[in-house]
């Protein structure tokens, strides 16, 4: 749909501009749900300062294809209007925005559900990998079982 | 030929991000390709011992039982951690 976006990039994004683009020129849209993910300064269970920096690797080509598939699946499940997905790659610092998902729809239920669905599937199906810089050196982030469970609750099997 | 690609911790463990492989006829699935590559010894045995190894064929995530054929692009990587 016009106004849809899937963008993998190093640069930051403007949350206000992206959210405005979800409904610009679309008077049938009555609801917008957005999610913004940030780089944290700690791991799960760790203290502040445990993560000094982060770098993100991805699989160019497959990333875009996987995200397009996820958006298409969301469209099959809910009556939504526009979907914009931005994911940053490269070097990031704590506090940086890392991912944006925005969904517009006629009513709030579809936008809320589709936004969460896209994030849950992105977490388990889009080929991104985080590497943290810690005081003890660099380490690849382990996948979390809770992310698999979040994707599985939608049915259809998160991988 | 099969174009094989590696990502993240697996790429680092193997010391390379891609290679072209001309596998024997016994390689018909992702699992048999993995076993063929891992059998080459260090550092390739990391492919056989990697926890929760994931794979994609032609940029679609697949299970280890998925078929592979000449001309395919096959990728191996750890579980994804984006978002």
Dump pLDDT digits (tens) for A84-93: 999 999 999 9
**Residues ≥6 apart with Cβ < 8 Å to A119:** A35, A37, A99, A101, B83
Number of structural domains chain B divides into: 1
How many helices and strands, by DSSP H and E, does chain A display? Answer: 4, 8
Q: What is the pLDDT of residues B49-60, one digit of tens each?
A: 988 999 999 999
Query: CA A52, CA A91: separation in Å to the nearest integer?
Result: 11
CATH of the domain at B9: 3.10.20.30
pLDDT of residue A3: 84
Nearest to A59 among B9, B75, B81 (CB): B75
Enumerate residues 86 to 145 of chain A having a beta carbon within 8 A of any beta carbon in chain B.
Answer: 87, 98-99, 119, 122-131, 140-143
Top-confidence residue, A104 or A145 = A104
For A11, the token pair is 């640069």
* Band of pLDDT at residue A1, cut at 50, 70 and 90: low
Query: CA B77, CA A8: separation in Å to the nearest integer?
Result: 19
* Band of pLDDT at residue A46, cut at 50, 70 and 90: confident
Given a cut of 80, is residue A45 above it in pLDDT? no
Nearest to A143 among B56, B61, B80 (CB): B80
Q: What is the pLDDT of residues A91-114, one digit of tens each?
A: 999 999 999 999 999 999 999 999
The answer to whether residue B34 is domain-embedded is yes
pLDDT of residue A158: 43
| Residue B59: domain span | 2-77
Query: CA A99, CA A38: separation in Å to the nearest integer?
Result: 7
Given a cut of 60, is residue A131 above it in pLDDT? yes
* Average pLDDT over chain A, rounded to an integer: 94
The answer to whether residue B56 is domain-embedded is yes
Q: Is the CB of B83 less than 8 angstroms away from the CB of A99?
A: yes
Q: How deeply is B25 buried, as exposed, middle or buried, from its count of CB atoms within 10 A (0-12, 13-18, 19+)?
A: exposed
Query: CA A107, CA A125: separation in Å to the nearest integer?
Result: 27
The answer to whether residue B83 is domain-embedded is no
The answer to whether residue B82 is domain-embedded is no
pLDDT of residue B55: 98
pLDDT of residue A159: 46
Contacts of B4 in chain A (CB under 8 A): none
pLDDT of residue A43: 84
Given a cut of 80, is residue A54 above it in pLDDT? yes
Low-confidence ranges of chain B (pLDDT < 70): none
The answer to whether residue B33 is domain-embedded is yes
Top-confidence residue, A61 or A135 = A61
C-beta of residue B74 within 8 angstroms of C-beta of residue A59: no
pLDDT of residue B82: 96
């Amino acid at each position: 749909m016009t106004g849809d976006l899937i963008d993998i990039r190093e640069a930051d994004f403007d949350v206000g501009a992206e959210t405005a683009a979800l409904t610009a020129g679309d008077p049938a849209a009555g609801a917008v749900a957005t999610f913004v993910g940030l780089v944290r300064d700690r791991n799960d269970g760790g203290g502040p300062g445990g993560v000094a920096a982060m770098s993100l690797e991805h699989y160019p080509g497959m990333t875009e294809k996987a995200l397009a598939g996820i958006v298409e699946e969301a469209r099959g499940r809910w009556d939504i209007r526009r979907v914009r997905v931005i994911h940053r790659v490269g070097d990031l610092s704590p506090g940086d925005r890392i991912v944006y998902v925005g969904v517009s729809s006629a009513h709030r239920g579809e936008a809320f559900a589709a936004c969460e669905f896209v994030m849950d599937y992105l977490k388990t199906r889009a080929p991104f990998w985080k590497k943290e810089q810690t005081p003890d050196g660099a380490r690849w982030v382990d996948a979390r079982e809770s992310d698999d469970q979040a994707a599985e609750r939608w049915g259809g099997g998160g991988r | 030929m099969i174009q094989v690609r590696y990502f993240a911790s697996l790429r680092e463990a193997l010391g390379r991000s891609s290679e072209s492989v001309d596998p024997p006829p016994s390689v018909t699935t992702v699992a048999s390709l993995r076993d063929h590559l891992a059998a080459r010894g260090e550092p390739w045995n990391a492919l056989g011992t990697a926890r929760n190894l994931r794979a994609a064929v032609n940029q679609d995530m697949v299970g280890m039982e998925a078929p592979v054929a000449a001309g395919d692009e096959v990728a191996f990587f750890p579980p994804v951690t984006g978002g």
